[in-house]
Amino acid sequence: MEEKPNYSYISQLSGGDKDFEEQLLDVVRLELPQEIENYKNHLEIDNFMRAGDDVHKIKHKISILGLEKSYQVAIDHEDNLREGVLDDDLYKRFEEILNAMTKFIEKA
């Protein structure tokens, strides 16, 4: 994955308000692990529609963490899942995005 999570969008939103930035990161830290767990659980039981819903929620965190190219991967993955298709390439790329985001918020 060539793109890395960053603070650019959070900084734009906050206008330099560090408390706001920290609150936003706290929400991501709280919600993202649970959303990823739900996504993986839904995939495990082949509930692609619910997994698509999970990707939809995760997509917002992708944009918050400044991952513009990854956002399109998420859109494509979500669309495929909602059509009942698990595209192996998109799945792997989405997994890389999730791993990068997880590492980033653990260090943030």
Query: What per-residue confidence (pLDDT) applies to 2?
Result: 75
Q: What does the chain look like in DSSP terms, one character per residue? A: ------SHHHHHHHTT-HHHHHHHHHHHHHHHHHHHHHHHHHHHTT-HHHHHHHHHHHHHHHHHTT-HHHHHHHHHHHHHHHTT---HHHHHHHHHHHHHHHHHHHH-
The pLDDT of 2-30, averaged and rounded, is 94
Closest listed residue to residue 54, CA positions, set 35, 30, 82, 32: 35
Instruction: With beta carbons less than 8 A apart as the criterion, state whether 65 and 5 touch.
Output: yes
Residue with tokens 């919600």: 31
Q: 42-62 pLDDT, tens per residue?
A: 999 999 999 999 999 999 999
Query: What per-residue confidence (pLDDT) applies to 108?
Result: 85
Query: What per-residue confidence (pLDDT) applies to 5?
Result: 96
Q: 63-103 pLDDT, tens per residue?
A: 999 999 999 999 999 999 999 999 999 999 999 999 999 99
Query: What per-residue confidence (pLDDT) applies to 1?
Result: 60
- Alpha carbons 70 and 1: distance in angstroms, whole number: 9
The pLDDT of 15-36, averaged and rounded, is 96
